[in-house]
């Protein structure tokens, strides 16, 4: 992919083109359906604005990363336009592009870009969350195919997806990281069963995906056998870039806005302690925004960025913890009990329950603190008991104990 720098007039005219397209085809603020997302992407394909940095021979627009940056900046004002493709396009597509064989790219890439297929990431398992490398799904070679058995969990949008990138164990005699391979899986294949998870916020975007003797053609192996962990690591880097470091590059006070709305709609003046707590949230959100702005300035100036980039996700969760503790005071009883058709505290309540996601999904707070401590502060790591032990000798969660 080309990183070419654009001239000022090239930038402005491309930006104008993006904006014109978005204003016609995306609706700011509406949570669009999957069908709407697909329609949007099909139109983008026609307009030459789909798969911007990807090669034309694989269905992309053949432009540069500079174009992609402009497109993303403009699309940020229309967050729901292709929201459901965030994993598909943000993680699976770059992986196929970078690590897929020519044949795989020919088979999959164009459909991914045009939104004709939706992809999921299948890593986590019931027994392998923070420690995803301890996964137990097996892939056993049988002639020209691999046979997959096991279960994945927390698979976003699996109930809508056509394909996925999955990691499974191909050699249990090796230590856990060393015996994993990555496959493209067809989620409509026989033996695949998708069940939506009932979440505490009432949503059902996450799924369990069961694999019972699912046969996967050997052409669907991505990269080399037993090299899957390295690929998984690369995919997690794309995740960090896509879903973000948690840092935005402008001032944003989302929880504060909800609290102030809530306080105002209560009618009565907010008591001094509650005012103090709301102000604390404002201050924390300001600091978080500033870290993003400083990090951006450092990158732009070509300096080595400080630790700010590693702090965004944890910071967001820290703020959520504080928010949850104050939101009840502001919301009052009306936040937890309401009549149909009169629910002014709905947004406050929803964000209270939903915000647990911030500290768990994509790396828990505890894992984030470990990463910050180890990699940013250089603290010594905890002793590890399972790194060099053959997988089949490890003690793991939810494993069926062998009879030996």
Q: Using CB under 8 A as the criterion, which residues of the chain lie in contact with another protein when the complex forms?
A: 260, 263, 270, 272, 275-276, 278-280, 282-284, 286-288, 290-291, 293-294, 296-298, 300-301, 303, 306-308, 311, 314-315, 318, 366, 368-370, 372-374, 376-383
Tell the smallest beta-carbon distance from residue 186 to another protein (Å): 41
Other beta carbons within 10 angstroms of residue 145's beta carbon come to 16
Report whether 207 contacts 194 (CB < 8 A).
yes
Between 51 and 316, name the residue whose CB sits nearer to another protein.
316
CB of 364 to another protein, least distance (A): 12
239 is catalytic: yes
Give 121 or 310: the residue with its C-beta nearer to another protein.
310
CB of 277 to another protein, least distance (A): 9
For another protein, the closer of residues 366 and 388 by Cβ is: 366
Nearer to another protein, 98 or 249 (CB): 249
- For 223-244, b/e burial (b = at least 16 CB within 10 A) is bebbbbbebbebbbebbbeeee
When the beta carbons of 39 and 294 are compared against another protein, the nearer one is 294
Among residues 74, 125, 239, 285, the one annotated as catalytic is 239
Shortest Cβ 253–another protein spacing (Å): 10
In whole angstroms, how close is the CB of 315 to another protein at the nearest point? 6
The residues carrying an active-site annotation are 239
């Amino acid at each position: 992919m080309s990183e070419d720098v654009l001239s000022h007039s090239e930038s402005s005219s491309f930006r104008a083109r993006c904006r014109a397209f978005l204003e016609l085809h995306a609706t700011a603020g509406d949570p669009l359906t999957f069908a709407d997302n697909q329609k949007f992407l099909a139109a983008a394909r026609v307009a030459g604005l789909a798969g911007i940095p990807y090669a034309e021979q694989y269905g992309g627009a053949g432009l540069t990363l500079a174009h992609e940056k402009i497109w993303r900046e403009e699309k940020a004002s229309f967050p729901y336009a292709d929201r459901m493709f965030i994993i598909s396009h943000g993680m699976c597509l770059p992986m196929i592009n970078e690590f897929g064989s020519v044949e795989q790219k020919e088979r999959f890439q164009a459909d991914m870009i045009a939104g004709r297929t939706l992809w999921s990431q299948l890593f986590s398992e019931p027994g392998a969350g923070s420690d995803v490398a301890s996964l137990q799904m097996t892939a056993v070679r049988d002639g020209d195919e691999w046979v997959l058995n096991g279960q994945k969990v927390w698979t976003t949008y699996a109930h809508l997806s056509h394909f996925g990138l999955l990691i499974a164990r191909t050699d249990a005699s090796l230590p856990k990281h060393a015996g994993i391979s990555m496959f493209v899986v067809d989620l409509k294949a026989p033996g695949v069963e998708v069940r939506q998870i009932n979440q505490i916020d009432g949503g059902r975007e996450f799924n369990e995906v069961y694999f019972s003797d699912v046969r996967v053609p050997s052409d669907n192996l991505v990269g080399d056998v037993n090299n899957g962990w390295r690929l998984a690591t690369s995919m997690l880097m794309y995740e960090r870039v896509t879903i973000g470091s948690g840092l935005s590059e402008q001032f944003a006070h989302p929880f504060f806005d909800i609290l102030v709305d809530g306080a105002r709609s209560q009618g009565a003046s907010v008591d001094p302690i509650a005012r103090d707590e709301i102000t604390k949230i404002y201050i924390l959100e300001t600091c978080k925004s500033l870290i993003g702005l400083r990090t951006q300035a450092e990158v732009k100036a070509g300096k080595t960025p400080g630790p700010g980039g590693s702090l965004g996700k944890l910071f967001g969760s820290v703020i959520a913890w504080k928010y949850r503790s104050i939101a009840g005071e502001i919301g009052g009883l009306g936040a937890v009990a309401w009549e149909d058709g009169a629910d002014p505290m709905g947004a406050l309540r929803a964000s209270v329950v939903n915000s647990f996601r911030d500290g768990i999904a994509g790396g828990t707070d505890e894992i984030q603190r470990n990463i910050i401590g180890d990699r940013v502060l250089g603290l010594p790591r905890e002793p590890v008991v399972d790194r060099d032990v053959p997988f089949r000798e490890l003690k793991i969660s939810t494993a069926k104990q062998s009879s030996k």
